[in-house]
């Protein structure tokens, strides 16, 4: 592990000095042409989280992922050699999708159309009357996509040759992630949201506390106190395109509603029982992934654009052992449902944000000092889209 923090932590005013304070162009939040360029410049060229190694525990185990940003269906398979690879779910004969199954275990993948059959390493193993094609089997393997892992989390990159390895992309954050119990995960709970909003409006909602008190009256009130009525974080952190924050600790938090208190107690119990260290983590990985580690929860929240104004969020809670008794199962369900309820409170304002920005009335929007993480994401995206456009014009 590096002996310096993974993120450079700044006071809000220091962050504002670095990132500026002017208005920000509203177009990228609703412009279809900008979104098309983001697909390439931001998503296809970045490492995007798509799953966890525990989903493919043995050779032949596979998962299918539909990634609209890349217009791709991927098969992620563990080979006989133990390596996990990602392939386009596309038969190399005439392009038929190989499987519609979301997950499973197979030693081979046969295309139902003309029975071309591929191994778990993507190689073409057999094809009826293959000699009539005048081809070499070695030239007909499944098309591979770059896949790398950190702390058990699987990431793909659609660039022909990524500029950086996953570890280079994550920087010191990779070391921090490996200290988390993620790599020991054997199962997880998941829920998803599909929201009518641009992905940046969605992501921005989860990287500022300015709204907490108004949209989350129960939890927001618990996070705030008279010294900090809007529950602002104390520091904002940056590392290349990635972000993070240090939450303010309320010295005298108000009594929580009984249901929330019970959820937290049960979450702590389930976590303690599972051997989770009470290590606190709050990373916002570029472009759209949150990694949150609290004493009671270890979860990721990954945001996938579907179109310029539709987005999917996938939230996963990780557990390093199986829930074999009803009490642990219930504790986890209760804990997950409590966080889901908070996330559900955000949905209305995120969609209302798209409704307003999509109307095209505003030329600019505004970020204050405590919305620096939103400004940082906006800037990182803009730099990449502009670089892509310059590349095209060169």
Question: What residues make contact with ligand FES under the rule CB under 6 A?
Answer: 91, 93-94, 96, 111, 113-114, 116
Q: Shortest gap between Cβ of 127 and ligand FES (angstroms)?
A: 7
Query: In Å, how far from its chain's centre is CA 229?
Result: 30
Of the pair 96, 368, the CB lying nearest ligand FES is at 96
Nearest by Cα to 62 from 154, 137, 179: 154
Judged by CB, which is closer to ligand FES: 111, or 180? 111
Min dist. Cβ of residue 114 to ligand FES (A): 3
Cα 49–Cα 53–Cα 59 angle in degrees, nearest 5 = 130
- Within 8 A by CB and 6+ apart from 236, the residues are 9, 10, 12, 15, 243, 244, 245, 372, 373
Please name every residue paired with 187 in a beta bridge, in sequence order, or none if there are none.
319
For ligand FES, the closer of residues 82 and 128 by Cβ is: 128
Contact 330, 217 (CB under 8 A): no
Residue 147 C-beta: closest distance to ligand FES, Å: 23
What are the b/e assignments for 205-219, b being 16+ CB within 10 Å? bbbbbebbbebbeeb
**Positive/negative CA dihedral, 185, 260, 294, 276:** negative
Specify the residue, 81 or 131, whose C-beta has the smaller distance to ligand FES.
131
Least CB distance from residue 129 to ligand FES, whole Å? 11
Closest CA to 348 of 201, 222, 166: 201
Is the CB of residue 293 less than 8 Å from the CB of residue 180? yes
Region of residue 284 (phi > 0: left; psi between -120 and 50: alpha; otherwise: beta): beta
Choice between 126 and 218, CB closer to ligand FES: 126
Contact between residue 318 and residue 182 where contact means Cβ atoms under 8 Å apart: yes
CB of 56 to ligand FES, least distance (A): 23
Least distance to ligand FES from the beta carbon of 216, Å? Answer: 50
- Residue nearer to ligand FES on the CB measure, 93 or 382: 93
For ligand FES, the closer CB: 126 or 234: 126
What is the separation of C-alpha 128 from the centre of its chain, rounded to a whole number of angstroms? 41
| Cβ pair 179, 309 in contact under 8 A | no
Smallest distance, Å, CB 21 to ligand FES? 56
């Amino acid at each position: 592990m590096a002996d310096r923090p993974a993120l450079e932590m700044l006071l809000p005013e220091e962050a504002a000095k670095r990132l500026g304070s002017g208005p920000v162009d509203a177009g990228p939040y609703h412009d279809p042409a900008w979104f098309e360029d983001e697909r390439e410049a931001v998503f296809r060229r970045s490492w995007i989280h798509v799953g966890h190694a525990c989903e493919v525990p043995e050779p032949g185990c596979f998962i299918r992922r539909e990634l609209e940003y890349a217009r791709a269906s991927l098969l992620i398979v563990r080979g006989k050699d133990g390596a996990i690879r990602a392939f386009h779910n596309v038969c190399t004969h005439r392009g038929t999708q190989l499987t519609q199954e979301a997950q499973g275990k197979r030693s081979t993948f046969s295309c139902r159309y003309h029975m071309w059959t591929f191994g778990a390493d993507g190689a073409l193993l057999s094809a009826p009357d293959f000699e009539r094609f005048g081809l070499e089997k070695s030239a007909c393997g499944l098309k591979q996509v770059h896949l790398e892992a950190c702390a058990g989390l699987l990431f793909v990159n659609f660039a022909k040759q990524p500029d950086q390895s996953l570890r280079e992309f994550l920087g010191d954050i990779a070391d921090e992630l490996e200290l988390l119990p993620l790599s020991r995960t054997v199962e997880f709970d998941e829920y998803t949201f599909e929201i009518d909003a641009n992905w940046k409006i969605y992501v921005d909602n989860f990287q500022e506390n300015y709204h907490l008190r108004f949209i989350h009256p129960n939890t927001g009130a618990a996070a705030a106190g008279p010294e900090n009525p809007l529950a602002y974080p104390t520091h904002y952190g940056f590392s290349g395109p990635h972000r993070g924050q240090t939450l303010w600790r309320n010295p005298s938090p108000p009594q929580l509603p009984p249901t929330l208190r019970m959820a937290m107690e049960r979450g702590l119990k389930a976590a303690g029982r599972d051997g989770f260290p009470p290590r606190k983590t709050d990373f916002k990985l570029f472009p759209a992934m949150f990694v949150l580690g609290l004493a009671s929860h270890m979860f990721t929240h990954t945001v996938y654009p579907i179109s310029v104004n539709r987005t999917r969020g996938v939230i996963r809670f990780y557990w390093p052992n199986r829930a074999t008794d009803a009490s642990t199962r219930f504790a986890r369900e209760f804990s997950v449902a409590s966080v889901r309820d908070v996330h559900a409170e955000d949905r209305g304002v995120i969609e209302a944000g798209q409704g307003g920005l999509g109307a095209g009335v505003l030329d600019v929007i505004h970020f204050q000092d405590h919305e620096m993480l939103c400004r940082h994401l906006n800037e990182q995206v803009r730099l990449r889209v502009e670089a892509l456009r310059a590349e095209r014009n060169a």
